Structure formats: C-alpha cells, structure tokens
Amino acid sequence: MRAKFARRVAPPPNPNDKEMTMTSRYVDFYRRSIDDPDSFWTEQARLIDWERPFDQVCDASHPPFARWFVGGRTNLCHNAVDRHAARRPADPALIWASSEVGQERVISFAELQAEVEAMAAMLREQGVGVGDRVLIYMPMIPEAAFAMLACARIGAIHSVVFGGFASHALANRIDDAEPVLIVSADAGSRNGKVVPYKPLLDEAIRLAAHRPAAVLMVDRGLSPFERVEGRDLDYAALRARLLGTRVACEWLPSDAISYTLYTSGTTGRPKGVQRDVGGYAVALAASMAHIYDGRAGETFFSTSDIGWVVGHSYIVYGPLIAGMATLMYEGTPVSPDAAVWWKLVERHRVTVMFSAPTAVRVLKKQDPACLTRHDLSSLRALFLAGEPLDEPTARWIADAIGKPVIDNYWQTETGWPILTLARGIEPAEPKFGSPGVPMFGYRVRLLDERTGEPLDEPRRKGLLAIEFPLPPGCMQTVWRDDERFVRTYWSSVPGRQVYSTFDWALRDEDGYYFILGRSDDVINVAGHRLGTREIEECVAGHPAVAEVAVVGVADALKGQVAMAFAVLKDPARAAAPEDALALEGEILRRVDQQLGAVARPSRVRFVGLLPKTRSGKLLRRAIQAVCEHRDPGDLITLDDPAALQQIHDLMKGTS
C-alpha cells in the first residue's frame, strides 16, 4: 500500500500571510493563537488541572523573558499521573519493553503513582526539596521515569544526563547542575553488551568539583558494583520500606523550574536549557491533542531516550498528561531483527509513533518485509524529528509501513514542535522534504541574517527566527545564565530582538517551510551561499546511497568547496577503486543536473559510518575540522570515534 502523501494539497495553509483569503481549519486556529493569544491559551490551559487559576496568561513585560500563566499553581506529576490514576487506575500508563534483556513490564496508572510516591519519599528522606536539583543518569528503565516524575511531584528540578555519556561529559553536567542527589543504575545494555554505569559515575563524581550528598542506585543485576559507604543508597531496600507511603504533589507556581536539559551538542558546547512547570504542561497537552492527535486510553510509542528532549516531552510527560500509555523501549531498532518495533506496535495497539530519521536510515539497510510482518492497523501516523528528513528516506518508510510519515522540526530549546502539521486539527497532507507549517503560538519569520530584513516573499532563503514571546513550553532561560540566554539566542540578528533557531530555511508558495541546514553549515562557494542540506538531499537521492554528510572545506581558490562522505546501502558497491570512481562520477553528475555545478562536491568519499552524536545527529562541524586538518575540539557527544578516524585517514595527505 502506498502512503497518502501530498502531490498538491488544497487549500494549502499559509499562516504567515496576513492577506491570505482561503479558509482552512488550521489557518484559523493558528491565527487565533497569534491574534488573540490570551483567549487561545486560556482555552488550551483547560487541558490541564490547576490548583489555583492564573491571573495573567503571559507576562511579556521583560523581553526576551516571558512568564506564562502567571499566578497559577499546578504540578506536572499530578497532571501526568494522579488525575488519571483517580479515574482509570487500572489502565496501562507505562509499558516498558527491553529487547536488550528480553523483558516487558506493564505498569498501570495506580501502580505508577505508587512507584512515584515511593521514589518521592526516598528523595524527601534525603532532604531533597523544592528547587533542589536531582541528576538522573539512567538507562531506559521504568525507574528513570519514576525518578523524573518523583522530582516533578515534590518540586525538585531534574537534570537528566543521557546514560551513554562517559565520565567527562557527566562531570561537566554535575558541576553545572550541582545536584543534591544523583539517581543511577548499575548498567545499561547496548546491542546485547552490558555497559556498566557505576564506574563512570564514580569517576565523574571524582572529576567534578561539586559533591552530591547521596547516590540512589538501582541494581538491575547486570553488573556488580562497589558501594560508597555513607553516600550510596540501595533503591530496592528503600522501595521495600517506602512503597505505600503517600507523598502529596507540591503545588508549584506556573513559572517554577521543572527541569534543565542540555542540547545535543552538535555545534559546540551544550547549553543548559531551563523549563517551567505550567507553560510546559499546557504546551504538551495542546501538542498531544492538536499535533500528534493522541487520545486518552491509547498507546504512544516514542523510540527516543529520556536523555533527550523528545524523551522528556514525548516519552514521559506528553503522553501521560494526555492520559495515554507510553511505551518505553530499551534496545536498537534491529535487534533481534528489524521487526522488533513493529511487533510492539501490534502487541500494544500503538496509535502514534515517534522516531528519528537516523533510526529509519538504520532500518533502510534491512529487509522492508520485516516492517510489515506485523499488524500495523492501529497506527495512525509516524512522526520523525531531530534531523532533516530527506525525501528518499521519507518515501522509503512511508511505502514500507503504508502510513503517513510526518516530519516535525523543533529544538531542545522549544520543547515541542515549531514546524509540522497539526493532525489533530486537520490532517493536511505532508510534502516530502518539508516539516510543514508554523505551529500555534510560534511567530515564525525568515530573516536576512546580515541585515535583519524580513524575507516575506516565497522561496527566499533566510534565517529561521521566532518573534517574542516564545509560546508556552519553550525555554525560560539558560540555567543560571540569563546573560547567555540573551546573548546566544536573542542577539544574532542586527537591529532586532528575535529568537534565532540557527537554522536556515525557505518557505514555498503554499506556506510550507523547508529546512536548509544549520546557519553555520551554510557554505560559500565562489560567492554562492549553499546549504549543505540541499546537497545532501541530492546525493541521498542516488539509489546506492544510504546516508551522506556534506561539509564545506576551506579552499584557496573558491573560499570553500563541498566535500561529501557517503555510506552505501551495499558497501561492496565501492569495494574496488574503479567501482568507487564510477559511482562517484554518477553522484557528481546527479548534483550537476539537479543543483548546478557550483554545488558539486569536490569529492564523494565512501565510508562505513558517519560521525554522529549519541542522539544520532551528524557532527558536521567535527567532519569539517578533520577535513581542514584542524582539531575537532570538544567531542564529548561523539558516538563512535572510529567514524571520525576513518575520515581522518581518508583526508590524510590532502591539503
């Protein structure tokens, strides 16, 4: 079956165009969010429970800082857990499946509340209170979600650090967050291999200047570890004693801090993104209803990790706030085989699924039949985010599963989509290569980054910016660094205080946006400004190519030239040097024909894998540095050093 994908959509929404005359349900919805934000957000705020109603929808008196739902008091854990446990105690809330250890566990809302209260009681016993930080360094196990929700329950600020990070990265984050307590586990598991966490954690605490008072250890029985006397606590023993203890939700001011989280670190030093309570709860509830179209009683499956923003918004808080069961998965998309996710879809009647292009590219190297061996009839749509979704990848997965595939563009900073399609309002059809249109509340603009001039006509390439105030749910500031927040995000466009996404985009005649790459990935070849994304998209369209990275490399003559590194679906295709040359020629001709000779990479080199962050994002900046024989700098988030080494070896002897 072929997925329903847009050829031409009628009538296309163009929410930015004030002169637009066509009618569309989403356009009206969007308009109201921009023209009458007070009534719009008051209505959305009814999706959650408030202990005390707010007096003011948005305090925008101190730009670029915005406070949402001022005077209101609420609690994330109450909205995610208690209110559903009260009405539907036996319904599944958290479904945990691990292909790593071959286990599955279904936890009802009532059980989830009991587990969260027990964990909250443990934190309280250690003196953790409102505003204290708790760092969570955990594999994908239910206790990680309990810990997050327990913090939310008692008003502690959680800071989840991706479990795959090693000591150095962890130590930096310990010093930034200064946690009273750390929650961790003996080990994670990756591709069937046990990865001990405790030695990494102990080393990180040794490296850090800050000393946490306590470490709460969950022992999965995967890897024996040493306990530090007087510091390390045993979760199982405490749980046995405290399960059944009632710990009431702490009602918090809407603008209290719920958590801090670091960006993926694709372009440099990660930033500690700080988020509120009330605005986040409302934004997530609204996005679940209007974007993902997820309904209470159904199952949501996000394949991300709690260490990333997608894990915060759409594994833990979003689905639960919406009263859905959330499926939490430990493992890869291809173990024991590429049917593993789809089997879960069938078994748990998943209606909405959320993954990343990088995972789809992994599946693409497998037999597509694995994807349809199971009954996917419950599934309404697959959402993908985190990276540009190139057309061949989108088409491949849409064809393979026969479902709408919806790209959504956002950032750790925003917490929920900036650009996508609001399927809960109107199931508009996606256009390949475009994440869609601006979401409600986002005043999206394309600007000339040198002059700040708005680029309102279609097909002008510009910096994707958002006008003040950012909608609810977006970052409040950089943790403990208001000045960095203003300087980094709000000061990059001359003459205007707008939020910069640092992504480059264009809008077509129909109001659909296309992301062209990060603003620092724009390359300048003999005076032509090119987005590396455009070239990547073209190269990826070659049938032999599984994925590709294009970077700009300094060139004495042209300023910069593009350099492509491609992973082939079948590596044997380029095994012999003459085959590699022939294939390179084919790809280069393709770029010539589709984009023109200026965009033609100087070389296309074939590699076994590309350097990525642990979240699966391409580290173009590191590739570029290696190509220019520079130090790639802070590689704290690099997944597999072998990938960069291979590029380094290929580029040796070039200048």
| Stretch of residues binding ligand ATP (CB under 6 A), selected from 207-215, 239-247, 261-269, 473-481 | 261-269
Question: Quick one: what does residue 223 bind among ligand ATP, Mg ion, none, with the CB cut-off 5 to 8 Å set by partner type?
Answer: none
Which residues face 613 on adjacent strands?
A: 638
Pick between residue 96 and residue 409 the one whose CB is nearest to ligand ATP: 409
| Alpha carbon distance 196, 188 (integer Å) | 6
Task: Candidates 13, 139, 270, 441: give the one binding ligand ATP (CB under 6 A).
Answer: 270
Q: Name the nearest CA neighbour of 391 among 371, 421, 364.
A: 364
Q: What is the smallest separation between the CB atom of 263 and Mg ion, expressed in angstroms?
A: 5
Pick between residue 383 and residue 502 the one whose CB is nearest to Mg ion: 502
Residue type, 516: L
Element (H, E) at 484: helix 482-489
By the 8 A CB rule, do 143 and 218 touch?
Answer: yes
**Cβ count within 10 A of residue 246:** 9
Here's the x/- map for ligand ATP, 372-411, by CB under 6 A: it reads as -------------xxxxx-----------------xxx-x
Q: Name the nearest CA neighbour of 310 among 140, 100, 451.
A: 140
Could you tell me which residues come within 8 angstroms of residue 334 by beta carbon, excluding any fewer than 6 positions away? Answer: 340, 362, 363, 366
Pick between residue 329 and residue 513 the one whose CB is nearest to ligand ATP: 513
Pick between residue 112 and residue 493 the one whose CB is nearest to Mg ion: 493
Task: Candidates 265, 279, 438, 473: give the one binding ligand ATP (CB under 6 A).
Answer: 265
Cα 590 → chain centroid: 32
Pick between residue 327 and residue 385 the one whose CB is nearest to ligand ATP: 385
**Cβ count within 10 A of residue 46:** 10
Question: Quick one: what does residue 270 bind among ligand ATP, Mg ion, none, with the CB cut-off 5 to 8 Å set by partner type?
Answer: ligand ATP
Here's the x/- map for ligand ATP, 602-621, by CB under 6 A: it reads as ---------------x----
In the three-class reduction of DSSP (H, G, I as helix; E, B as strand; rest coil), residue 384 is classed as strand
Pick between residue 434 and residue 615 the one whose CB is nearest to Mg ion: 615
Q: What is the smallest separation between the CB atom of 172 and Mg ion, expressed in angstroms?
A: 17
Q: What angle in degrees, to the nearest 10, is found between the helix axes of 109-125 and 235-242?
A: 110
Number of H helices, E strands in the chain: 20, 32
Task: Candidates 44, 159, 167, 263: give the one binding ligand ATP (CB under 6 A).
Answer: 263
Q: What is the smallest separation between the CB atom of 252 and ligand ATP, expressed in angstroms?
A: 25
By CB under 6 A, residue 501 contacts ligand ATP: yes
Q: What is the smallest separation between the CB atom of 292 and ligand ATP, expressed in angstroms?
A: 14
By CB under 6 A, residue 303 contacts ligand ATP: no
Q: What is the smallest separation between the CB atom of 619 and Mg ion, expressed in angstroms?
A: 13
By CB under 6 A, residue 358 contacts ligand ATP: no
By CB under 6 A, residue 521 contacts ligand ATP: no
Question: Quick one: what does residue 153 bind among ligand ATP, Mg ion, none, with the CB cut-off 5 to 8 Å set by partner type?
Answer: none
Pick between residue 167 and residue 613 the one whose CB is nearest to ligand ATP: 613
77 phi/psi in degrees, rounded to 5: -70, -40
Q: What is the smallest separation between the CB atom of 387 and ligand ATP, expressed in angstroms?
A: 5
| Alpha carbon distance 321, 573 (integer Å) | 49
Pick between residue 155 and residue 436 the one whose CB is nearest to ligand ATP: 436
Q: Name the nearest CA neighbour of 163 among 268, 305, 267, 271.
A: 305
Q: What is the smallest separation between the CB atom of 389 and ligand ATP, expressed in angstroms?
A: 6
Q: DSSP labels for 513-576?
A: EEEEEEGGGEEEETTEEEEHHHHHHHHHTSTTEEEEEEEEEEETTTEEEEEEEEEESSGGGGSS
By CB under 6 A, residue 264 contacts ligand ATP: yes
The DSSP letter of residue 368 is G
Q: What is the smallest separation between the CB atom of 505 and ligand ATP, expressed in angstroms?
A: 9
Q: How many residues bind ligand ATP (CB under 6 A)?
A: 23
By CB under 6 A, residue 519 contacts ligand ATP: no
Supply 513's token pair.
Answer: 């946006």
Could you tell me which residues come within 8 angstroms of residue 385 by beta carbon, excluding any fewer than 6 positions away? Answer: 310, 354, 356, 407, 408, 409, 410, 417, 435
Task: Candidates 515, 550, 566, 625: give the one binding ligand ATP (CB under 6 A).
Answer: 515
Question: Quick one: what does residue 180 bind among Mg ion, ligand ATP, none, with the CB cut-off 5 to 8 Å set by partner type?
Answer: none
Q: What is the smallest separation between the CB atom of 135 and Mg ion, expressed in angstroms?
A: 22
Q: What is the 3-state secondary structure (H, E, C) of 212-224?
A: CCEEEEECCCCCC
By CB under 6 A, residue 435 contacts ligand ATP: yes
| Stretch of residues binding ligand ATP (CB under 6 A), selected from 262-270, 482-490, 572-580, 581-589 | 262-270
222 phi/psi in degrees, rounded to 5: -95, -35
Q: What is the smallest separation between the CB atom of 172 and ligand ATP, expressed in angstroms?
A: 13
Q: What angle do CA 355, 358, 361 make, to 5 degrees?
A: 105
By the 8 A CB rule, do 115 and 105 touch?
Answer: no
Which residues are at the interface with Mg ion (CB under 5 A)?
263
Could you tell me which residues come within 8 angstroms of residue 585 by beta carbon, excluding any fewer than 6 positions away? Answer: none
Pick between residue 268 and residue 633 the one whose CB is nearest to ligand ATP: 268
Question: Quick one: what does residue 387 bind among ligand ATP, Mg ion, none, with the CB cut-off 5 to 8 Å set by partner type?
Answer: ligand ATP
List of residues contacting ligand ATP (CB under 6 A):
263-268, 270, 385-389, 407-409, 411-412, 435, 501, 503, 515, 518, 617
